[in-house]
């Protein structure tokens, strides 16, 4: 599987350098700023969405679970990185890759930005399917751009997506045990006019 992983990233990254505008778009999509901003603004927009007060509370509770999933996904990826230190593609195949991004120093598997993106998209999809699919597309583009840039393997992207989706499922399960606290927090935010 590792050789297939390497072959895919080398082939895909080998397409870079041919069309400057596409390379620039991939650099923009792979940046540490654009997609996290898209996910954050998307979740903020959903926090204030809802046509009725009951629907709005439902959106806010779901976005709170999404924020929790983002935090827990970061911890899970960190634990994976301690347990499994997989080098980045540019470390193992640097002479065959055209690195389009700064060289991250943390391990490669699973892809943390993809885990965060898929956790946000899954949260959004549970309350607004159409918008959620747009966030899934953004998370997929985020992963693809990092693959194209030579900083992740395909299995890193798939692993990150699985972690993000699974952790959101875990937070919704955990919500049952923390329910009075979560609802009280949303009421507090509404009382402070922040919801």
CATH code of the domain containing 172:
1.20.144.10
Does 33 score more than 80 pLDDT? yes
Looking at the structure of the chain, the number of domains it has is 1
193: left (phi over 0), alpha (psi -120 to 50) or beta: left
pLDDT at residue 194 in the model: 60
Q: Cis (ω within 30 of 0) for the bond into 153?
A: no
pTM score, two decimals?
0.83
Confidence of residue 2 (pLDDT cuts 50, 70, 90): low
pLDDT at residue 173 in the model: 87
Cβ(161)–Cβ(115) under 8 Å?
Answer: yes
Does 59 score more than 90 pLDDT? no
What residue numbers bound the domain in which 77 lies? 2-191
Report the percent of the chain where pLDDT is more than 70.
93
pLDDT tens per residue, range 123-176: 999 988 999 999 999 999 999 998 888 888 899 999 999 999 999 999 888 777
Confidence of residue 19 (pLDDT cuts 50, 70, 90): confident
45: its two tokens: 């927009």
């Amino acid at each position: 599987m590792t050789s297939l992983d390497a072959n895919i990233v080398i082939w895909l990254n080998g397409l870079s350098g041919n069309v400057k505008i596409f390379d620039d778009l991939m650099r923009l999509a792979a940046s540490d700023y654009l997609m996290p901003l898209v996910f954050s603004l998307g979740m903020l927009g959903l926090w204030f969405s809802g046509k009725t007060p009951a629907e709005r509370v439902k959106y806010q509770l779901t976005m709170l679970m999404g924020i929790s999933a983002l935090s827990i996904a970061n911890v899970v990826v960190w634990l994976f990185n301690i347990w499994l230190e997989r080098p980045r593609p540019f470390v193992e195949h640097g002479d065959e890759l055209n690195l389009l991004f700064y060289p991250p120093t943390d391990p490669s598997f699973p892809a943390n930005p993809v885990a965060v993106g898929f956790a946000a998209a899954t949260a959004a999809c549970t309350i607004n399917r159409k918008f959620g699919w747009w966030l899934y597309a953004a998370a997929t583009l985020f992963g693809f751009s990092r693959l194209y840039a030579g900083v992740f393997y395909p299995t890193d992207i798939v692993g990150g997506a699985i972690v993000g989706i699974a952790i959101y499922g875990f937070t919704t399960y955990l919500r049952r045990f923390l329910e009075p606290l979560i609802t009280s927090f949303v009421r507090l935010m509404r009382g402070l006019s922040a919801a």
